Amino acid sequence: MFTASARSPCPRGSEVTVHARSHDATPVSGGGLDGGKEGASDIARTPGIAGLSDNQFRRLSTYIERELGIRMPPAKRIMLESRLYKRIRLMKLEGFEQYLEYVFDPAQKNGELLHMIDAVTTNKTDFFRESDHFDFLLRRLLPERYGDHWGVRAPFRVWSTASSTGEEPYTLAMVLQEFREQHRDFSYQILGTDISTQVLERGRKAVYTEDRVVPVPEAMQRKYLLRSKDRNSRLVRVKPELRSRVLFHRLNLMDEDFGIRELFEVIFCRNVIIYFDRENQTRLLRKLYRQLRPGGYLFLGHSETLAGMELPVFSVAPTIYRKPE
């Protein structure tokens, strides 16, 4: 059974042991900083606001990589300016010099980092993204390994390490619920973590526009999504039965200790390590390996690989790896 800290209320029927640390910081939401389409940024259109100087960019990029593990090459400079400018405008500051004074003020104790995370992280995600992973889970992993004998086992635990606004963990919940309909003794729990408090809150609410759920098969939409009685509303919500199986918690994948006692049968860490340098990739993957049960599975994104990582796992399908028993 999962048990959550007091700061992370746990939905009924879904408990995870996550022990809070003093700074309470957290992976990237399905990715890190991307190029986006900010272009020349809002700064160029605002008199009196200068762009980041070379020194300011170095300080911020070093800080972001150290705290979040996200690489910040010069090619991301304009995008970083644009996103942080919105934060500067909200704070009514005069420019980047004043903002950096605020960021690096010892009295802040990393408080601004929490807001910077929401400003600069990318939350690209979809229901059933890279759908062959979910096919593997439903049609091969679960039937082959567990069959009809799950009733004597502990709950099947899955960790979505970059859960963003909830599409990935709720996709997992739909797939696991499909298996449960054929195996009534089967029980499951899902942990969804992310670095952004904003996206975690959206995940907990589980409300999406109709266009967001298009990838969900129609049969699953009918079973697992609620539609508004207002015919003009284009919003849907994940049913309580699935919401109760998912715990969302804030976590920093760069932390040395995740504070999670349980081991997982499956860990999804997809489209995350591509934003880290090799050293941080290796460090993260070793920590995730320790959170896997013997025989557990690690899922990476289609553009990611463990080649050269020297992690003691074996490949069972493209970007799917298994820990030895």
Per the structure, how many domains does the chain have? Answer: 2
Task: Flag whether pLDDT at 31 surpasses 70.
Answer: no
Assigned domain for 174 exists: yes
Structure tokens at 21: 């640390």
Task: Flag whether pLDDT at 223 surpasses 80.
Answer: yes
In a shared domain, residues 98 and 181? no
Task: Flag whether pLDDT at 63 surpasses 50.
Answer: yes
Assigned domain for 2 exists: no
Q: Among 94, 120, 146, give the residue marking a domain's end.
A: 120
- Phi, psi of 146, rounded to the nearest 5 degrees: -115, -30
In a shared domain, residues 59 and 139? no
In a shared domain, residues 229 and 261? yes
The reported pLDDT for the residue numbered 263 is 95
In a shared domain, residues 74 and 183? no
Please name the amino acid found at residue 180: R
Assigned domain for 103 exists: yes
Task: Report the alpha-carbon distance of residue 23 to residue 113 in Å, rounded.
Answer: 10
The reported pLDDT for the residue numbered 256 is 87
Assigned domain for 11 exists: no
In a shared domain, residues 266 and 301? yes
The reported pLDDT for the residue numbered 8 is 39
In a shared domain, residues 104 and 221? no
Task: Report the alpha-carbon distance of residue 76 to residue 228 in Å, rounded.
Answer: 41
Q: What CATH number did the domain enclosing 253 receive?
A: 3.40.50.150
In a shared domain, residues 60 and 110? yes
In a shared domain, residues 271 and 142? yes
In a shared domain, residues 103 and 246? no
The contacts of residue 10 (CB under 8 Å, 6+ apart) are 2, 3, 4, 16, 247
Assigned domain for 37 exists: no
Task: Flag whether pLDDT at 229 surpasses 90.
Answer: no
Average pLDDT over residues 135-163: 83
Assigned domain for 16 exists: no
Average pLDDT, the chain: 83
Q: Whose CA is closest to 84, among 54, 49, 108, 48?
A: 49
Assigned domain for 22 exists: no
The reported pLDDT for the residue numbered 110 is 65
Task: Flag whether pLDDT at 131 surpasses 90.
Answer: yes
Catalytic residue positions, numbered:
83, 194
Structure tokens at 198: 């904003």
- Distance from CA of residue 195 to its chain's centroid? 7
pLDDT grade for 235, boundaries at 50, 70 and 90 = very high
Computed from CA positions of residues 40, 46, 50, 52, in that sequence, does the dihedral angle turn out positive or negative?
A: negative
User: Percent of the chain beyond pLDDT 90?
Assistant: 51
Q: What CATH number did the domain enclosing 95 receive?
A: 1.10.155.10
Q: Which of 15-19, 84-88, 121-125 has the highest mean pLDDT?
A: 84-88
In a shared domain, residues 81 and 173? no
In a shared domain, residues 105 and 145? no
pTM over 0.75: yes
Domain of 58, in residue numbers: 42-120
In a shared domain, residues 105 and 222? no
Q: Among 99, 120, 141, give the residue marking a domain's end.
A: 120
The more confidently predicted of residues 171 and 50 is: 171
Assigned domain for 250 exists: yes
The reported pLDDT for the residue numbered 22 is 33
